[in-house]
Chain A
Amino acid sequence: MLRDLLIALIVLTNFTMVATGRINKAIQVAVLQGVLLGLLPLAMGLGRHLHILLMVAAAITVKGWLIPSLFRRAMRKVKIHREVDPYVGFTASLVLCALGTGLALLLASHLPLAPGSEFKLFVPASLSTLLTGFILLITRRKALTQVVGYLVLENGIYLFGLMLIEDMPVLVETGILLDLFVGIFVMGIVLNHITVAFDSMDTRHLAELKD
């Protein structure tokens, strides 16, 4: 019950993120989503495995503390607060997100689950989160929002990984942890360099190279 509630909240955060124009809010919602995802294994009753508890602790630390502090540093430097003039408007991206969620449900209905599986909501929710990440990555101009999109994309994969975590812990945990740490590490470095080199984080400045 609690588990399904958490998943519903995660899907709701997807919609909030695409609809907002304030970068600060998008980051906060992404952090909230990360923490909700971090709590999910506990709601699934996996708290009895020590290795899963450690992974949960790592995920919550990274998603709930490390990433927000990286973002706060970047935001202080660049002094931009709003996503101005995105390639696709906020209402349109909300519609896209809804369509994406519908598509995720459709795709998930074609993928069989183990008989009697309790993970019915996991596949559509993870695909929907993945598509939301894509929408943010493709339709926004600011590097910061694009990084948020990448985080959401990874959240979707993490959600899917939770389905397998009890049966294939080695594969899932290495994948998720590496993705988390290294991805953020590099994003942090790049964000930092962009602020230094451009005094702004608009990827429109990153458009010198073309044919």
Chain B
Amino acid sequence: MAWFLIALPLLAALAAFLTRSVALRARLLPVTGALHLAALLYALRAWDRLPPDAWIGLDALGGWTLLVISVLFCVCACYAPAYLALRPERDNRVFTTSFLCFLGLASLLAQARHPGLVWVAMETTTLATAPLIYFNHNRRSLEATWKYLIIGSVGIALALLGTLFLAYAAHLGGLQEPLLFSSLTRDGADLLSRPWLRAAFVLTLVGYGTKMGLAPLHTWKPDAYGETPGVIGALLAGGVTSCAFLALLRIYSVVAAAGEIEFARELMVGMGLLSMLWAAVFMVRQLDIRRLLAYSSVEHMGILVFGIGIGGRAARFALFHLAANALVKCVLFMSAGNINRSYASKRLPYVRGAIRRTPVSGWLFFLGFLAITGTPPFAPFISEFNIAAAALAQPYLWTGVAFLVLLGGIFLAMSDTVVQVVFGTPPPDRARTPYRDTWATTAPLVAALALSMTMGLWLPEPLANMIRSAGDVVEGVR
């Protein structure tokens, strides 16, 4: 089953690359997404029975992350055919192939039980998504791709060095290949050389943090998210970042199991707050709605590492937040994409009064904004509230207070732009493009928003169990 999850999307990608039929390619996306999700749900029944010597297999942490990615992929894949139909001038071969490759490689990453394999999967994920950023084939998208590749490659190179440092730490401790996580997070953890392990964590935090887009390593993010179609932005903001977060957590869990968790926690909390602060500053008077969403993504990556850094209950809710963020980002990016399409612009003086031109997308964008900033009853409220509560329960009050102040500031900064976009007066001289909201471009978003609301109200017991267990994996509980 583990191999099937990886092979299915890759074979579909091969088929998409080889076939000449444009319609078939577009149809492959939702079909593969649905099959992958079904296979994953079947495979997840055995997440607590992973053999310790497996190189590939689902544990609680990988299973939860892959579930988030698979659901996100399904939403994007249901939306994509309608989007591609709106862009007949662009060949969809590269788009569908890259899209499907991403899912296969994400499945490899989520199931990899070896730090080297995790790195390989992360590197190839970067490469598979780079052609997506260049989808529009113009100067601006080329600039974004260049930045994504060069900054991403440097980050990924540092992560490789960090992985090698971890291997050297194990080598000094007398461990032999293969260095599987099942031994590194258990008995092997005591043997690791501490200075090398710490250095390895710093390097992987910087490396995978670059891929996640944590400040100050996020500089590729506004450009990449700003210049791609909304559906690709959603996949990047919810999928690729989740992959990088998982890769970071794998190393974090080794550090935690080795008893160096305090050191790692300080770095995570610091990096999280810095990302939120940086995002808040750049959101103020941000005229470009896509860049606004990119900074919101920086903010939420900050919330994730902040929650992990606080630990305990906050770490579990950070994992919950992974799903909440992915679902709502989906809604935001794709509804923003619809709005942009209707106005042929994504900047503020031109895009106003979306609620009158594209009522469904306008409302979805507004509700998505409310959800992502932590308004009940949506899922991000639950995670942000619990992370804040856990932070405030700590001996040092200031981290929790800073977290809440930043959340409030970000709400204000974001609302300024969003309210103008949604409720402003439409500029009379702005020509209207033929785009209208249709069933196909809005129904997947409504489903994602409904799912995020359901998660805010009720989480099935098996999933709650899995998150609890994943939290233990992250914190290095043996």
Residues of chain A touching chain B, judged by Cβ–Cβ distance below 8 Å, are: 110-114, 130, 134, 137, 143, 146, 150, 153-154, 156-157, 160-161, 163-164, 167-172, 174-175, 178-179, 182-183, 186-187, 190, 193-194, 197-198, 203, 205-209, 211
Chain B, 151-187, CB within 8 A of any chain A CB: 153-154, 157, 160-161, 163-164, 167-168, 171-172, 176-179
Shortest Cβ distance from residue B331 to the other chain A in the assembled complex, whole angstroms: 24
Of the residues A150, A171, A194, contact of B142 by C-beta under 8 Å: A194
Q: Is the CB–CB distance between A171 and B167 below 8 Å?
A: yes
Q: Is the CB–CB distance between B177 and A153 below 8 Å?
A: no
Q: A175-B120, A182-B127, A190-B145 are in contact. Are A168 and B179 (CB under 8 A)?
A: yes
Interface flags for B269-302 (1: CB within 8 Å of A; 0: not) read 0000000000000100010000100000000000
Q: Is the CB–CB distance between B140 and A209 below 8 Å?
A: yes
Chain A CB count within 10 A is highest, among B146, B171, B291, for: B146
Chain B, 115-170, CB within 8 A of any chain A CB: 115-116, 119-120, 123-124, 127, 130, 134, 139-140, 142-147, 149-150, 153-154, 157, 160-161, 163-164, 167-168
Q: Is the CB–CB distance between A179 and B195 below 8 Å?
A: no
Does B193 lie at the interface of the complex (its beta carbon under 8 Å from any beta carbon of A)?
A: yes
Q: Which one of B33-41, B221-229, B244-252, B454-462 is at the interface? A: B221-229
A21 to B149, CA, bound (A): 25
Shortest Cβ distance from residue B375 to the other chain A in the assembled complex, whole angstroms: 27
Chain B, 355-387, CB within 8 A of any chain A CB: none
A87 to B177, CA, bound (A): 44
Q: A160 — which chain B residues lie within 8 A by C-beta? A: 161, 164
Shortest Cβ distance from residue A48 to the other chain B in the assembled complex, whole angstroms: 19
Q: Is the CB–CB distance between A171 and B139 below 8 Å?
A: no
Of the residues B124, B144, B167, B179, contact of A209 by C-beta under 8 Å: B144
Does B344 lie at the interface of the complex (its beta carbon under 8 Å from any beta carbon of A)?
A: no
**CB closest residue in chain A, given B174:** A114
Q: Is the CB–CB distance between A157 and B157 below 8 Å?
A: yes
A146 to B139, CA, bound (A): 19
Does B402 lie at the interface of the complex (its beta carbon under 8 Å from any beta carbon of A)?
A: no
For this complex, 7 residue pairs linking A to B, each with C-beta atoms less than 8 Å apart, are A137-B154, A171-B114, A178-B123, A182-B124, A182-B127, A190-B149, A206-B147
Of the residues A112, A154, A172, A186, contact of B164 by C-beta under 8 Å: A172
Does B199 lie at the interface of the complex (its beta carbon under 8 Å from any beta carbon of A)?
A: yes
Q: A112-B193, A164-B167, A209-B223 are in contact. Are A194 and B160 (CB under 8 A)?
A: no
A134 to B178, CA, bound (A): 32
Q: Is the CB–CB distance between A194 and B146 below 8 Å?
A: yes
Q: B144 — which chain A residues lie within 8 A by C-beta? A: 209
Residues of chain B touching chain A, judged by Cβ–Cβ distance below 8 Å, are: 114-116, 119-120, 123-124, 127, 130, 134, 139-140, 142-147, 149-150, 153-154, 157, 160-161, 163-164, 167-168, 171-172, 176-179, 193, 195-196, 199, 222-223, 226-227, 282, 286, 291
A168 to B116, CA, bound (A): 11
Shortest Cβ distance from residue A103 to the other chain B in the assembled complex, whole angstroms: 14
Task: Given contacts A110-B195, A175-B119, list 8 more A-B pairs with CB under 8 A.
Answer: A150-B157, A153-B157, A157-B164, A167-B177, A171-B164, A175-B120, A194-B142, A197-B142
**CB closest residue in chain B, given A134:** B154
Shortest Cβ distance from residue B15 to the other chain A in the assembled complex, whole angstroms: 23
Shortest Cβ distance from residue A177 to the other chain B in the assembled complex, whole angstroms: 10
A112 to B171, CA, bound (A): 12
Q: A157-B157, A171-B116, A175-B164 are in contact. Are A146 and B150 (CB under 8 A)?
A: yes
Q: Is the CB–CB distance between A168 and B177 below 8 Å?
A: yes
Q: B160 — which chain A residues lie within 8 A by C-beta? A: 157, 175, 179
Shortest Cβ distance from residue A51 to the other chain B in the assembled complex, whole angstroms: 13
Of the residues A146, A194, A198, A211, contact of B286 by C-beta under 8 Å: A211
**CB closest residue in chain B, given A153:** B157
Q: Is the CB–CB distance between A190 and B146 below 8 Å?
A: yes
A128 to B214, CA, bound (A): 25
Shortest Cβ distance from residue A133 to the other chain B in the assembled complex, whole angstroms: 8
Q: A163 — which chain B residues lie within 8 A by C-beta? A: 168
Q: Is the CB–CB distance between B142 and A164 below 8 Å?
A: no
Q: B199 — which chain A residues lie within 8 A by C-beta? A: 111
Q: B164 — which chain A residues lie within 8 A by C-beta? A: 157, 160-161, 164, 171-172, 175
A114 to B171, CA, bound (A): 9
A111 to B153, CA, bound (A): 26
A175 to B124, CA, bound (A): 12
Shortest Cβ distance from residue B160 to the other chain A in the assembled complex, whole angstroms: 5
Q: A111-B199, A114-B172, A175-B120 are in contact. Are A150 and B154 (CB under 8 A)?
A: yes
**CB closest residue in chain A, given B288:** A211
Shortest Cβ distance from residue B101 to the other chain A in the assembled complex, whole angstroms: 13
A153 to B150, CA, bound (A): 12
Shortest Cβ distance from residue B88 to the other chain A in the assembled complex, whole angstroms: 23
A130 to B134, CA, bound (A): 29
A84 to B115, CA, bound (A): 42
Q: Is the CB–CB distance between A179 and B150 below 8 Å?
A: no
Shortest Cβ distance from residue A209 to the other chain B in the assembled complex, whole angstroms: 4
A154 to B160, CA, bound (A): 10
Q: Is the CB–CB distance between A157 and B149 below 8 Å?
A: no
Q: Is the CB–CB distance between A150 and B153 below 8 Å?
A: yes
Q: B114 — which chain A residues lie within 8 A by C-beta? A: 171
A171 to B196, CA, bound (A): 17
Of the residues A137, A168, A178, A186, contact of B149 by C-beta under 8 Å: A186
Shortest Cβ distance from residue A113 to the other chain B in the assembled complex, whole angstroms: 8
Q: B195 — which chain A residues lie within 8 A by C-beta? A: 110-112
Q: Is the CB–CB distance between B167 and A168 below 8 Å?
A: yes
